[in-house]
Amino acid sequence: MTQASVFPAPVVPGLRNLLSRYAESTMWLARYMERIENLARLIEVTSTSVSATNMDAGWDSVIRINADEGLFFQHHETATERSVVAFYIIDANNPDSIVSMARYARENARVLRPLISTEMWMHLNVFTRWVMELGPNDVGAGYLSSLCTRLKQDCQTHFGITEGTLYRDQAWLFYILGKNLERADQITRLIDIKYHTLLPSEVGIGSDIDMSQWTSVLRSAAAYHAFRRVLPEGMTPANIVGFLLKNDGFPRSLSTSLRSVYSVLGSLAGEYRLRHCAPIIERVEELRVTLAEQTVEDIIMRGLHEYMDWIQRELRQIQNEIAHAFWPPVLSIHSTGTGRMEQVQN
Amino acid sequence: MKTAVQAAGLFATYDIPDYFCELLNRGDSPPPDLQRVRDRLARFDLAELRRRAAAVEAQFYRLGITFTVYSDREAIDRVLPFDVIPRVLTAAEWDHVERGVQQRVRAINLFLHDIYHDRHILNDGVVPRDLVLGNANYCQAMVGLDVPGGVYVHINGTDLVRDRDGRFLVLEDNARTPSGVSYVLEDRQMMLRLMPDLARGLNIRPVDEYGPRLHRALAEVAPAGVDNPQVVLLSPGIYNAAYFEHVFLAREMGIPLVEGRDLMVEDGRVYMRTVAGPRPVHSIYRRLNDDFLDPLVFNPDSMLGVPGLVDAYRQGNVTLANAIGTGVADDKAVYAYMPRIIRYYLDEEPILTNVETHICAEREGLEYTLANIERLVVKPVGESGGYGLLIGPHATQAELDEFRALLRANPANYISQPVISLSVSPTLCPAGVEARHVDLRPFAVTGRDTWVLPGGLSRVALRKGSLVVNSSQGGGSKDTWVLAS
């Protein structure tokens, strides 16, 4: 005798399904760690590429990439290295700062402690505590590069431990989903904001400054050496944008991230028979098709900014549909707890 | 007076206390196994022991074994102190404790069934009717409800102390949601990692069976007719003081840790929200107090519970462990009647005796307490965690007067007990290895039968001379070794 149920029996007998709250936290843990790594990368590259010329030029683009103009200029007159670095690393009032994201990552990790490996928790515990204790003395110009290196390396250590220890079930798939959605979002932001710096200015055509701007954009996406291997002679703005958007071998390109999102959703729908995946898969597939069918020249001609903007809106829509399908809001007094994460879900 | 045994090495400066000490002052020559532990420990030098203690601390910090202290909101992530010198029990001592705990759990479950059904024990005048029916923890929703296997207390913690003669005495029962078992398992792991040379070759009873045993018990008491019951652990969430333990136990059992918002009740059945939609839940190990379980029945402001849970429970569609309303059994006033309760239901003498207890609700008890307050420990009956108690011999005149007034104003709220000369255990302290008072909380798991985790949580009062072992008030823990032979 078994209990009668108002809900259908599981399609895959014996399959243990992931708690919705765990799925949500897994996804956001991955997103925050990926976001921290990207921001650390961007700050490091900005600090090294601007120091040759004007100390403070280039820092405003960090603010624009994160769409933080409003909050930043409430408290600061101009975007100097000192003010931007403090705002993005140690300012706890900035929800997009590394210290805030470390706190969110930590909260998600605490939620996930029953699920994740002890090694994952131990590393996140030490890492997030360290970040949360960073102060003004840790972000001075002389320490910035090594600080960013350590932040980056800790994120990479986290991904390595996760890859090596997290059990491969739905939680793993939601983790990969979050990581790749974040990467896709970050690369389109980077291209959108940095593209103008790739264009030759009237005074500086062919000069050393241009080349160093181009390499710095590639470096902030960890793409410099990969790009050199693929296109040793072709350092043009269009080639750089094309590489970051469409190269299927580059781990952080938009096409690679979308391919991964697509395949993970396919596994959730197939292996785990989760309903509600189909419309999300369709949306991702459409993104992939528009990307594959256009050359980078077409994209630039039709308006790079508009295209990046559309992709970001679509990515947000995908995130919302995933949330709606797998952790629908609870319509009662019990719907609490996720406000902060959604707040920074730009 | 007992003669202190010859100490050497690490214990050369150990000031043999005038208390029972399992390792160094037993009143007889220690059994060979205990002697071996002592000899090995004696060969450690103090610096080496400190080096290992520091390594333990670093490990615990990294793992984030934390304990929120209620009175210290800032110290959210305080590390629970762990002492590297184990507390050791012989096979014979453990056999006695184990049988005593099993007997007590049996009596508690029979008592709870009785007071929620026919109330024989009240009708026969063995326990005062008011004490039970007027108890704040007596739950009307439990009246007449049959729980699977007649088990109300699935997880029980019995706080034991040893007196000057080494006799085990029950200090209190914890029949609601006893905590601390995760420290037992973690302490053991840490101990074997850091002191392998101390444990090697000794036949120490393992503790890692706890998770599977608990899971099996919770599955055994699931509603009848469910194959492969889904067991979950219900936690108040990441800001709860014992969240670490909830995580630990969920992992050890391989079950989901859920919060109230993860569960829902539909048609009198409980479901958890998963990525595949609602999935049935049959057995809930809840680490949430009665008041918070169901806003429809108890505290309507509770955001932590599950609306409709009690209804599902009353329909027999889900099992709660522990049952609701078990707090009557671990009430400090009911405790005083526990020896009579054991005799009443089991027709046996209690294997573990109570500490002598004066019930201030009774005239003789109150008068005795007022007359002897400077020699007694006075405890409020409703509190836990060592809060709000008076230790007469350590109190100032003003504190004594204040408590006399409290006693006269509300005598039923208090019991008193003589100060027990708690046993001590050698402990690594800032000044060297010194004697510190300890207690013992064995954990009993009851499904179809009762299993007691070998050993349990040994808490140690780290402050010199202190008798308060609670972790919220400067207590630490020790690994507890039960020798198999």
Could you state, in order of their start, the residue ranges of all structural domains in chain A? 16-167, 168-328
Which residue in B has a C-alpha nearest to residue A124's C-alpha? B62
- Out of A199-203, B4-8, B220-224, pick the least confident: B4-8
Q: Chain B interface, mutation test: which of A21, A121, A338, most B Cβ atoms within 10 Å?
A: A21
- ipTM at complex level: 0.87
Residue B324 to chain A, least CA–CA distance (Å):
22
What are the extents of the domains in chain B?
9-94+175-207+441-482, 357-418
pLDDT digits (tens, 9 = 90+) for A64-91: 888 899 999 998 988 998 999 999 999 9
Q: Chain A interface, mutation test: which of B275, B301, B309, B315, most A Cβ atoms within 10 Å?
A: B275
Residue B241 to chain A, least CA–CA distance (Å):
13
B335 alpha-carbon distance from chain centroid: 14
Query: For chain A, what's the residue count?
Result: 346
Chain A residues with CB-CB distance to B under 8 A?
Answer: 1-3, 5-8, 10-11, 15, 17-23, 107, 110-111, 113-114, 118, 121-122, 125-126, 170, 174, 268, 272-275, 326-327, 330, 332-337
Contact B247 A113 (CB under 8 A): yes
Q: Hunting for tokens 């120091």 — which residue is that?
A: A51
User: Beta strand B475-482 with B82-89: parallel, antiparallel or unpaired?
Assistant: parallel
Nearest CB partner across the interface for A170, out of B238, B273, B275: B275
* pLDDT band for position B231 (cuts 50, 70, 90): very high
Amino acid at residue number A312: Q
- Share of residues in chain A with pLDDT > 70 (%): 86
Q: Hunting for tokens 């050393």 — which residue is that?
A: A208
**Spatial distance between the Cα atoms of B400 and B392, rounded to a whole number of angstroms:** 7
Which residue in B has a C-alpha nearest to residue A323's C-alpha? B275
Which residue in B has a C-alpha nearest to residue A2's C-alpha? B226
pLDDT at A199: 72
pLDDT digits (tens, 9 = 90+) for B448-480: 999 999 999 999 998 888 877 776 677 889 999
Nearest CB partner across the interface for B262, out of A10, A21, A126: A21
Contact B62 A122 (CB under 8 A): yes
Chain B residues with CB-CB distance to A under 8 A?
Answer: 62-64, 223, 225-227, 238, 243, 246-247, 250-251, 256-262, 264, 266-267, 269, 271-280, 295, 303, 307, 317
**Spatial distance between the Cα atoms of A326 and A266, rounded to a whole number of angstroms:** 15
**Spatial distance between the Cα atoms of A277 and A266, rounded to a whole number of angstroms:** 8
Helices (H) and strands (E) in chain B, counts: 14, 21
**Do residues B135 and B331 lie in contact, with contact meaning Cβ atoms separated by under 8 Å?**
yes
Secondary structure (3-state) at A341: helix
Give the strand order in the sheet containing B283-286: B257-258, B231-234, B283-286, B319-321
Q: Which class for A86: exposed (0-12), middle (13-18), buried (19 or more C-beta within 10 A)?
A: middle
Which residue in A has a C-alpha nearest to residue B237's C-alpha? A111
Secondary structure (3-state) at B445: strand
Q: At A344, list the tokens.
A: 């920074």
Pairs across A and B, CB distance < 8 A: 97
pLDDT digits (tens, 9 = 90+) for B382-422: 655 556 789 899 899 999 999 999 999 999 889 999 988 88
Higher-pLDDT residue of A343, B50: B50
Please give the sequence-ordered ranges of beta strands (E in DSSP) within B295-453, or none if there are none: 319-321, 353-354, 358-359, 376-380, 390-391, 414-418, 424-429, 432-441, 443-446, 450-452
**Phi then psi dihedrals of residue B241, to 5 deg:** -60, -35
Residues of A in contact with B303 (CB under 8 A): 333-334, 336
Cα Rg of chain A, angstroms: 21
Residues of A in contact with B257 (CB under 8 A): 114
Q: Could you tell me which of A207, A186, A209 has the C-alpha nearest to residue A312?
A: A186
Contact A125 B243 (CB under 8 A): no
Residues of A in contact with B312 (CB under 8 A): none
- Share of residues in chain B with pLDDT > 70 (%): 93
pLDDT at A59: 87
pTM of the model: 0.89
pLDDT digits (tens, 9 = 90+) for A218-273: 988 999 999 999 988 888 889 999 999 999 999 999 999 999 999 999 999 999 99
Q: Chain A interface, mutation test: which of B57, B231, B270, B274, most A Cβ atoms within 10 Å?
A: B274
Handedness of CA A75, A80, A83, A86 (dihedral sign): positive
Secondary structure (3-state) at B136: coil
- Out of B248-262, B263-277, B412-426, pick the least confident: B412-426
**Spatial distance between the Cα atoms of A194 and A58, rounded to a whole number of angstroms:** 10
Higher-pLDDT residue of B70, A144: A144
DSSP string, B17-85: -SS-BTTTB-SSPPPHHHHHHHHHHHHS-HHHHHHHHHHHHHHHHHHT-B---TT-TT-TTPBPPEEEE
Residue B151 to chain A, least CA–CA distance (Å):
22
User: Distances from the Cα of A273 to the Cαs of A276, A278, B150, B275, B340, in angstroms?
Assistant: 10, 11, 40, 10, 58
Contact B274 A20 (CB under 8 A): yes
Composition of chain B by helix, strand, coil, percent to 5: 35, 20, 40
pLDDT at B30: 81
**Mean pLDDT of the A98-113 span:** 95
**Spatial distance between the Cα atoms of B438 and B460, rounded to a whole number of angstroms:** 4
CATH architecture of B357-418: 2-Layer Sandwich (3.30)
**Do residues B11 and B426 lie in contact, with contact meaning Cβ atoms separated by under 8 Å?**
yes
Residues of B in contact with A118 (CB under 8 A): 63
**Mean pLDDT of the B286-307 span:** 91
DSSP string, A18-66: PBHHHHHHHHHHHHHHHHHHHHHHHHHHHHHHHTTS-TTTTHHHHHHHT
Q: Hunting for tokens 């026969």 — which residue is that?
A: B124
